[in-house]
Chains A and B, each alone.
Chain A
Amino acid sequence: MKIKVAKNTIQKKLSNIQGVVENTNTMPILTHFLLDVNKEGSHILATDLETTLKQPVEAEVEQEGRVCIPARKFFEIVRELDGEIRLTLDKEGWLRVNSGASSFKLATLPAEDFPAWPEMEASEEITLNDDELLRIIEKTVFASGLDDKRYTLNGLLFHLRPENALVVVATDGHRLAAISKTIEGAGKESKAIVFRKAAAELKKLLDKGKVKVALGKNHALFEASGALFLTRLIEGTFPNYEQVIPQSNEIKVFLNREAFVKALRRASIISDNNLVVLDISNGSVVISSSVPDYGDSKEEIQAGYRGENLRIGFNARYLLEALGVMDQEEVVFEIQDNHSPAVLRGKDEEDYKYVVMPVRLG
């Protein structure tokens, strides 16, 4: 193998894979990436067995070849080099990295040992804009579980519905975020649970342009600006989210988002496990919190509401995280009573719903 690449080209690609390559030593090959050099087109491939990233690399190929290169060390070397980099693989498996007057020799591993790029099964394909996908991920990913024993909760459900809609849902059992989006050309119904970590990694890769999404039986494939991002799906059945989203909550409280956020932040300073109490009455909401023998806080904000008084408790963190990803000036809090799930959403944002369970007040 013998190629020439520009430093800037390869450095960008290498920094993209740093989040994917494994750091632990369980399988040494996973700390490497595969460089596949071909006259028709070269690419680099990195995987941690959960997610796999394949990116094209523009290179001047003198001799074709495939080899596994230690990802972190090679990245460190490339970062310090300038201009054009020449890579040569010798017969004993040493990779020579030359640039200007400096030269490095790196041990490599045989390309055959690298995990195979899994074949995608027949799958449903849809196309999204990168900003749409970014919005979808940002508005849901925070609500998914972290290291939950119910593994399906550690991911985002991509639900392709027959009526031309894509619904993405995340939940940790206490709250649930669901966003739906109309798309063209969806056919069959299909469901895929994408790992939370993979979604976060994918977010970094989204660049200007279209993203092709393919949902298969075992994998989901995202194709953005030439790069292929493939992730293994989570086994199991995702909770039935439609059952969880309340359809007819009668009490509607209109709040200014910024004022609500600030008040919640202040209230959660003195609180027991982020518990805050909302006292809703005509025209206002009083947000209070207290820790016995320690102190308490109270704040009144204006609210668009006419009706009976209601006292309801929430985990402030759950509310703040959702309010943080909303962008409308005014939000609606739809409540049934103080022990049924409540819905929080932007006033004119019909496609996004955030469901949160109230905390029982003693």
Chain B
Amino acid sequence: MALKDVIGQNKAVNILFRTIQRDRIPSSYLFAGEPGIGKKFAAINLAKAVNCTKIVNSHQSSFIGHKNNKEEPERLLTVDYRLTDCCDVCSSCRKIDAGIHPDFSLILPESGQIRIEEIRAINEILFLKPFEGRKKIVIVDDAELMNQNAANAFLKTLEEPPEDSLIIIISSNPDRLPDTIRSRCARINFTPLPGEECEKVIERSLGHQPPVISRKTNIKKPETDDSILSTLARLSMGRPGSAISGDLIEERDRAVNILKSMLKAGKDSWVSRDEMEKWFDQILLLLRDIAVSKITQDENSLINSDLKGYLNKLGRSMELKIIIENYLKLSNLKRYFNFNLNKSLTWNYTGSMLRKAMDTVYV
């Protein structure tokens, strides 16, 4: 994979290509955007491009000759990437991919935090000259999870990074980063992907064998590859990464099953608070779909279109007003999740609310 293989982020990728081409790479980037849309993928491939042994550092002069070469027009890249992108075959590219390049390090949060020790380790990598590459590259993923000490320790390095270094900070929640960090980075925004491109990404990473749909719900689904792909793409909500890292269909089916047991006044079935939060997201989507199918009758605008029969039935039992009311109530409740909501109380409350609204016959 290379930088040109980043799908659906043309704007961001163009900026990156141009900075490489003009040899004006800033010392620190902030890649901002929702989770699962290719920020880390782009960061790793930027690292490869910067250190690739096949690229000579004379982009500008040689670039002119290739300007009119129009290959792959559908990519809509406004710069010729072939001179600046990584080759993906040299030892440097392969080592970065495998995470064993001596001048490359990827910092990930451990048990929900990035601690000061890890930031100190970055400083130690950066203050030495590069080992074999042209630049030392540090990627900090989920940077908003830096605790305050770590963030403060990072400031000094970010302000005056040693020569030959590139720091890429990745955050799906950049507003939670301290101002002092944000202001020191060149920010590049990544956007959620349109459905078609979502499909492309999912198809590429899953190969041509999408996961077999689980049969926990007794809902009939067509099982051709294409429809699974498009279901996955729609469920991912423009974030193909979420479809790649987990089985979205299974997750959704589990959410539906939990809803059923809730409507039957079953016991608290959320395994964890984490699952409770995800369940709310799923249910809000279902409610949205019910409302949409009630209003438009258009199954193409549904997110869970593979469940259309079930959604229709549920929809018939509810009035639009009640659907919207419940939607609002649930999204209000969701806002309190950061305040340590009690799991079983939430279960009972939500359960009684939904039992009033939905006709349990159709579950």
Task: Give A residues with C-beta under 8 Å from B.
Answer: 27, 29, 47, 49-50, 112-113, 115-116, 118-119, 149, 151, 195, 217-219, 232-236
Q: Could you tell me if B129 and A235 are in contact, using CB atoms closer than 8 angstroms?
A: yes
Which residues of chain B (244-285) have a CB below 8 Å from chain A? none
Q: Please pick, from A112, A116, A151, A233, the residue contacting B132 in the complex, using a CB distance under 8 A.
A: A116
Asked whether any CB of chain A lies closer than 8 Å to the CB of B100, the reply is yes
Q: Please pick, from B91, B128, B162, the residue contacting A116 in the complex, using a CB distance under 8 A.
A: B91
Q: Could you tell me if A235 and B128 are in contact, using CB atoms closer than 8 angstroms?
A: yes
Residues of chain B lying within 8 A (CB to CB) of residue A236: 127, 162
Please report the C-alpha to C-alpha distance between residue A47 and residue B127 in the assembled complex, in whole angstroms. 18
What distance in Å separates the Cβ of B150 from its nearest Cβ neighbour in chain A? 15
What distance in Å separates the Cβ of B238 from its nearest Cβ neighbour in chain A? 35
Q: Could you tell me if A115 and B128 are in contact, using CB atoms closer than 8 angstroms?
A: no
- Residue among B131, B156, B164 with the most chain A CB within 10 A? B131
Interface residues in B, total, Cβ within 8 A: 19
Please report the C-alpha to C-alpha distance between residue A218 and residue B131 in the assembled complex, in whole angstroms. 8
Asked whether any CB of chain A lies closer than 8 Å to the CB of B184, the reply is no
Q: Could you tell me if A49 and B102 are in contact, using CB atoms closer than 8 angstroms?
A: yes
Interface flags, B120-137, vs A, CB<8A=1, else 0: 000100111111100000
What distance in Å separates the Cβ of A150 from its nearest Cβ neighbour in chain B? 10
Please report the C-alpha to C-alpha distance between residue A112 and residue B95 in the assembled complex, in whole angstroms. 9
Q: Please pick, from A27, A119, A232, the residue contacting B129 in the complex, using a CB distance under 8 A.
A: A232
Q: Could you tell me if A113 and B127 are in contact, using CB atoms closer than 8 angstroms?
A: no
Which residues of chain B (128-179) have a CB below 8 Å from chain A? 128-132, 156, 162-165
Asked whether any CB of chain A lies closer than 8 Å to the CB of B98, the reply is yes
Decide: A113 near B98, CB < 8 A? Known: A49-B131, A219-B129, A233-B129.
yes
Residues of chain A lying within 8 A (CB to CB) of residue B123: 151
Q: Secondary structure at chain A's binding surface: helix, strand, loop or mixed?
A: loop
Q: Could you tell me if B95 and A113 are in contact, using CB atoms closer than 8 angstroms?
A: yes
What distance in Å separates the Cβ of B10 from its nearest Cβ neighbour in chain A? 34
What distance in Å separates the Cβ of B3 from its nearest Cβ neighbour in chain A? 22
Q: Could you tell me if B164 and A112 are in contact, using CB atoms closer than 8 angstroms?
A: no
Q: Could you tell me if B129 and A217 are in contact, using CB atoms closer than 8 angstroms?
A: yes
* CB nearest to A217 among chain B residues: B129
Q: Could you tell me if B128 and A234 are in contact, using CB atoms closer than 8 angstroms?
A: yes
What distance in Å separates the Cβ of A12 from its nearest Cβ neighbour in chain B? 27
Task: Give B residues with C-beta under 8 Å from A.
Answer: 91, 94-95, 98, 100, 102, 123, 126-132, 156, 162-165
Please report the C-alpha to C-alpha distance between residue A115 and residue B128 in the assembled complex, in whole angstroms. 16
* CB nearest to B125 among chain A residues: A49
Q: Could you tell me if A118 and B100 are in contact, using CB atoms closer than 8 angstroms?
A: no
Q: Could you tell me if A234 and B129 are in contact, using CB atoms closer than 8 angstroms?
A: yes
Residues of chain A lying within 8 A (CB to CB) of residue B95: 113, 115
Q: Please pick, from A27, A112, A235, the residue contacting B127 in the complex, using a CB distance under 8 A.
A: A235
Closest 4 CB pairs of A and B: A151-B127, A235-B162, A218-B129, A232-B128
Q: Could you tell me if B129 and A115 are in contact, using CB atoms closer than 8 angstroms?
A: no
Residues of chain A lying within 8 A (CB to CB) of residue B100: 27, 29, 113, 115
Residues of chain A lying within 8 A (CB to CB) of residue B132: 115-116, 118-119
Residues of chain B lying within 8 A (CB to CB) of residue A119: 132
Q: Could you tell me if A118 and B131 are in contact, using CB atoms closer than 8 angstroms?
A: yes
- Residue among A217, A219, A235 with the most chain B CB within 10 A? A235
Residues of chain B lying within 8 A (CB to CB) of residue A49: 102, 131
Q: Please pick, from B128, B162, B164, the residue contacting A50 in the complex, using a CB distance under 8 A.
A: B128
- With A115-B102, A235-B128, A235-B163 given, can you name 15 additional A-B contacts, CB distance below 8 Å? A50-B128, A115-B95, A115-B131, A116-B91, A116-B132, A118-B132, A218-B129, A218-B130, A219-B129, A232-B130, A233-B128, A233-B129, A235-B162, A235-B164, A236-B162
What distance in Å separates the Cβ of A149 from its nearest Cβ neighbour in chain B? 8
Would you mind naming 25 contact pairs between A and B with Cβ atoms under 8 Å apart?
Answer: A27-B100, A29-B100, A47-B102, A49-B102, A112-B91, A112-B94, A113-B95, A113-B98, A113-B100, A115-B131, A115-B132, A149-B156, A151-B127, A151-B162, A195-B128, A217-B129, A218-B129, A218-B130, A219-B129, A233-B128, A234-B127, A234-B128, A235-B162, A235-B164, A236-B127
* CB nearest to B164 among chain A residues: A235
Residues of chain A lying within 8 A (CB to CB) of residue B126: 235
* CB nearest to B128 among chain A residues: A232
Please report the C-alpha to C-alpha distance between residue A232 and residue B100 in the assembled complex, in whole angstroms. 18
* CB nearest to A114 among chain B residues: B100
Please report the C-alpha to C-alpha distance between residue A49 and residue B104 in the assembled complex, in whole angstroms. 11
Residues of chain B lying within 8 A (CB to CB) of residue A235: 126-129, 162-165
